Each structure stands twice: as structure tokens, then as C-alpha cells.
Amino acid sequence: MLKGKDNLQLLTKPRRIVITTHHKPDGDALGSSLGLYHWLKKKNHQVSVVVSSDFPDFLDWMPGRGSVIMYPQSPEMASKLINEAEIIFCLDYSALSRTHALEPIIREAAGQKWMIDHHLEPEDFADLSYWDSNAAATAQLVYRFLEEELQGKADIDADIATCLYTGIMTDTGSFRFRSTTAAVHHIIAELLDAGARNWEIHEQVYNSATERRLNFLGYCLLNCLEVIPAYNTALFSIRKEDLAKFNVTTGDTEGLVNYALSIKGIRLAALIVDRTELIKLSLRSIGEIPCNEICKKYFNGGGHLNASGGSAAGDIATVVNTFKSILPEYKELLTK
């Protein structure tokens, strides 16, 4: 699971380090990045977190978020930091394309690439990889990496614990998903001991909606949801004009797909959004229905068995029809 262990000795001296994560960072991407950021800073490394986009408002309280460098705002600084880094951490992604605008810069940078991730089928680009597709979150792997590979558990303070807790909490759906093992709960207990204030973190992430966001949610539940009983499938399809009506920003659609999955008997849920030049899809499933296979085969994406994403060109009605046309292939799993 750890490949390239010999490279770890680089950390015995202060280094120039950049931490990168995937486009539109979610709680795990930002939580694992900032957790590692604080730990490396404590060890006197020169550290920056560089991302290719903004991140949701519900994460805009995390310790260290003010130091995150966003490529669209500061392209020159972002490129310079990556080019000059001795180590580039690649967190919560295993294919460089998931860093969008950063991909060519990271690919060509001279520094070592160290991947810490839990996605399936990693691309072979890293000099060091700490990878486990059974891990519930990259933040869980960062914790293990610090504890087991860097013997650095004692340095996990309240800020680090808060960031890692947030990553694990969001990627496990608040400790609900099948990935939430006893080992996850043991780590969570350690993070609480280290100073993570669980009730405050839940409050910040889940009770920070705006009235506008709730109105958008209500609108989607009423107008954009379609249930397909024959395949135990439900989907939201959200058009550009729906997004515009509610002035939807990054993060406002987060969690929406779970409402479709929460309908009794539904085993596959999709959120299909006409957001940018491409139509973005998020899939969620229960049991053995392979969201990652569907996204990989049909929507140029991937992810985990029960949670994946992808995108497609064309108009939203066509993408919705494509999605529906795939359902018969999975009928047995969907109706079992």
C-alpha cells in the first residue's frame, strides 16, 4: 500500500512542499489537504495548498483556509510554487486530470509526486503512493500516514484534528456509509482526544445553509425529481435556468443526490446538472450497483462503487436519456 517508501527520507530536512487536491474540493479534499498542511508547517517545511477552483461556502471556516491558493485568482504564483516544489502531494485524487488546469503544471514539474488517495484504479504518476481503496476517506489515510509512516501522531493538534475529522465526516456521510469501520471510529476517537470539537464541525458543515439554498432544494424536490420505479432509480435533472433562478454557487448542489437515494426502495440515484460547458453527473447507489463502472463506461468519470461522478457533452435532455438507456443493463442488480 505504501510504494516508494525510500523517498520518505526527503522529509528529514525542511523542504518546499505544495499540496494539491482535485477540482472543486469537497470536505475530504480540503480537510486532508489542510490537515497535512498544518502538520508539515509544524515540521518547518515551506508549505502551500494549491487548488484549481474555489470550494464550497460550508467549508469556508476550516483552519488554514485563508492560505489556500486558487489557480484562477493567482495563476502565476500557483505555477511558480508547483514548479519550485521539491515535493508535490496529490491528495484525494489518483488521476492527474482531476486537477483540471493544474494537470499540465503538475505533470511537468520536477518535484517528486506523492499521492495519498482512496480512489480505484490509480494512474501511475507518483514517486510515492500511499493508497487504499478500502479507506473511507483520504483524511483517514493522512492520519495513518502521519501515525505509521512519519511517527507524527504526537504532533496532531486541534487544527489538524479538526481538518481530518471534517474529511472523514463528509466522506462517510456523517459515519453512515459502509466504509465506516471500527478502525474509522478509532481514528475519530483519537481526533477528538487531539482537540477536534465534533459538534462544532457538524454545525459548521451541516447547519450553515442560506435561505436561498433551502429554496433551491425545495424547488428541486418539487420540480426536478423523477422516479423510475421499474429500475428502483431516481434522478434529479437541473437545467441552467434552474441554477440561474437561485443564483446557485459551488456547494449548493452538494448532498442533493442523497435525497433521491433516500426514497424507500431506491437503489440508484443520479444528479444531472447543466452547470458548465459539460453536463456533470453524480451517482450514488446501495449494495453492489457499480456507480464507478457506469461513470467510467458512459460518462468519462469514475470514483467509488457507491459514489461516483462524471460528465458528458450535449444537452441535458440527451444526457438524461443516455442515463435512462443504461438502466436495463443493470436491471438484475437494480431490482434484486
Chain contacts with ligand 5GP (rule: CB under 6 A): 95, 98, 119, 282, 301-304, 307-311
Q: Which span (8-16, 24-32, 176-184, 285-293) binds Mn ion, by CB under 5 A?
A: 24-32
Assess 92 for contact with Mn ion (CB under 5 A): yes
- Long-range CB contact pairs, 189-195, < 8 A, 24+: 190/143, 190/153, 190/156, 190/161, 191/143, 191/156, 191/161, 191/164, 191/165, 192/161, 192/165, 194/156, 194/157, 194/158, 194/160, 194/161, 195/157, 195/158, 195/161, 195/162
- Alpha-helical regions (H) of 122-181: 138-144, 158-171
Assess 171 for contact with Mn ion (CB under 5 A): yes
CB atoms near residue 74 (< 10 Å): 13
- Determine the Cα–Cα distance for residues 94 and 74; give it in Å rounded to an integer: 24
CB of 304 to ligand 5GP, least distance (A): 6
Q: Which is nearer to ligand 5GP, 129 or 311 (CB)?
A: 311
- Determine the Cα–Cα distance for residues 165 and 152; give it in Å rounded to an integer: 17
Assess 28 for contact with Mn ion (CB under 5 A): yes
Q: Which is nearer to ligand 5GP, 305 or 333 (CB)?
A: 305
Q: Which does 138 bind (CB under 5 to 8 A by kind): ligand 5GP, Mn ion, none?
A: Mn ion
- Determine the Cα–Cα distance for residues 40 and 133; give it in Å rounded to an integer: 24
Alpha-carbon Rg of the chain, whole angstroms? Answer: 20
Q: Which is nearer to ligand 5GP, 98 or 113 (CB)?
A: 98
Q: Which span (89-97, 154-162, 275-283, 291-299) binds Mn ion, by CB under 5 A?
A: 89-97
CB atoms near residue 151 (< 10 Å): 9
Handedness of CA 330, 331, 334, 336 (dihedral sign): negative
Assess 274 for contact with Mn ion (CB under 5 A): no
Q: Which does 119 bind (CB under 5 to 8 A by kind): ligand 5GP, Mn ion, none?
A: ligand 5GP
Q: Which does 274 bind (CB under 5 to 8 A by kind): Mn ion, ligand 5GP, none?
A: none
CB of 303 to ligand 5GP, least distance (A): 3
Q: Which of 48, 52, 129, 138 binds Mn ion (CB under 5 A)?
A: 138
CB of 171 to ligand 5GP, least distance (A): 7
Q: Which does 302 bind (CB under 5 to 8 A by kind): ligand 5GP, Mn ion, none?
A: ligand 5GP
CB of 137 to Mn ion, least distance (A): 5
Cell triple for residue 50?
494549491
CB of 116 to ligand 5GP, least distance (A): 14
Which phi and psi angles does 43 have, rounded to 5°? -90, 15
Give the rounded distance of the alpha carbon of 180 from its chain centre: 16
Footprint of Mn ion (CB under 5 A): 28, 92, 138, 171
